[in-house]
Amino acid sequence: MLRTILIAAAALGIAIFGGFWWLFLADSKAPAAAPGLFAIEDWRSRLPEDASALPTEIRVLEIGRDKAPGFAARAGGFGTDWNTTYNAVQIVWPDRTLIVDGAIDAATAAGMKQSEADWAFDAAAYETLLAAMLKAEQVVITHEHLDHVMAVARHPDPAALAPRLVLNAPQIGALPIFAIGALDPAIAGLAPRLDGTVQSIAPGVVIIPAAGHTPGSQLVFIRTQDGRETLLIGDVAWSLDAVETLTTRPVLTQYMIFDPNEDRTSVKAQLRALHDLMEANPDLTVIPAHDGDLIRGLIQDDLLTEGFKE
């Protein structure tokens, strides 16, 4: 009898340990190499030779913030915090602007709240984003998830916004899910203006397709007039330490958050490629959209400017 109980207890222990391992640690490490995946020389070849044509600055507008356990953003990151930010980026030239991402609106932010103490939503900043989109020459998104598209899918003036939207086909396909009621025909009927290849969309701004986190995911490579290079990576990683440690989100997120699931194999290869890119280009600033600590540090170091230019 005792032997049976001990065997049952051991089996249960192994099952619990195995389940924990699978959900929190397994299948999270990047491969040893991802040759040719992100070719920065190709991106650079698409930049204008005349530096005065490049953007003058990159600005970031925080719409909301929150805090979650670090192990959600990076498998094995127990005992750390992930200070999450929801934001949009404005690329500024003397005569025009380009906006990257549509962040979240109040209802979406409230529905995603993780921490009572650390959650915040800035309604005035969201209004600023809505207005800035109508002054921008172009509006792009890193990918089609709910916390990056609301100022697009729920914009109060879709007819004015539509001509500025530069989206790829999977991104357009996802927008109806996030509209309140039917998506306005001006946006629902958009034709893709990105074709899924590496494309320069403005002087100093190159779009790099990176399907994996979602089918429509892409990176945004920017060189400013001061010669600095910045790479917005959306949600390929939720925090920069995921790139540095070559470790993606835990499998748990596939069940709790993503529907449909990520293509983990692609995301892990992208982490390797980004890691190697950073090592080979130490001056390149790589920015995951939700890494609040990193973005606040970049603002302090004058590598990003806080708030949008009106």
Binding site for Zn ion (CB under 5 A): 145, 147, 235
CA distance 127 to 181: 21
Q: How far is the CB of 145 from Zn ion (least distance, A)?
A: 3
Q: How far is the CB of 140 from Zn ion (least distance, A)?
A: 15
Q: How far is the CB of 263 from Zn ion (least distance, A)?
A: 13
Q: How far is the CB of 101 from Zn ion (least distance, A)?
A: 9
Q: Which is nearer to Zn ion, 62 or 147 (CB)?
A: 147
Amino acid letter, residue 239: S
Q: Which is nearer to Zn ion, 62 or 235 (CB)?
A: 235
Q: How far is the CB of 28 from Zn ion (least distance, A)?
A: 17
Which residues are registered as beta bridge partners of 229?
Answer: 223
Q: Which is nearer to Zn ion, 96 or 296 (CB)?
A: 296
Q: Which is nearer to Zn ion, 155 or 290 (CB)?
A: 290
Q: How far is the CB of 84 from Zn ion (least distance, A)?
A: 9
H, E, C per residue of the chain: CHHHHHHHHHHHHHHHHHHHHHHHCCCCECCCCCCCCCCHHHHHCCCCCCHHHCCCEEEEEEEEEEEEEHHHHCCCCCCCEEEEEEEEEEEECCCCEEEECCCCCHHHHHHCCCCCCCCEECHHHHHHHHHHHHHCCEEECCCCCHHHHHHHHCCCCHHHHHHHECCCHHHHHHHHHHCCCCCCHHHHCCCCCCCCCCEEEECCEEEEECCCCCCCCEEEEEECCCCCEEEECCCCCCCHHHHHCCECCCCHHHHHCCCCCCCHHHHHHHHHHHHHHHHHCCCCEEECCCEHHHHHHHHHCCCCEECCCC
Q: Which is nearer to Zn ion, 218 or 224 (CB)?
A: 218
Q: How far is the CB of 148 from Zn ion (least distance, A)?
A: 5
Q: Which is nearer to Zn ion, 147 or 291 (CB)?
A: 147
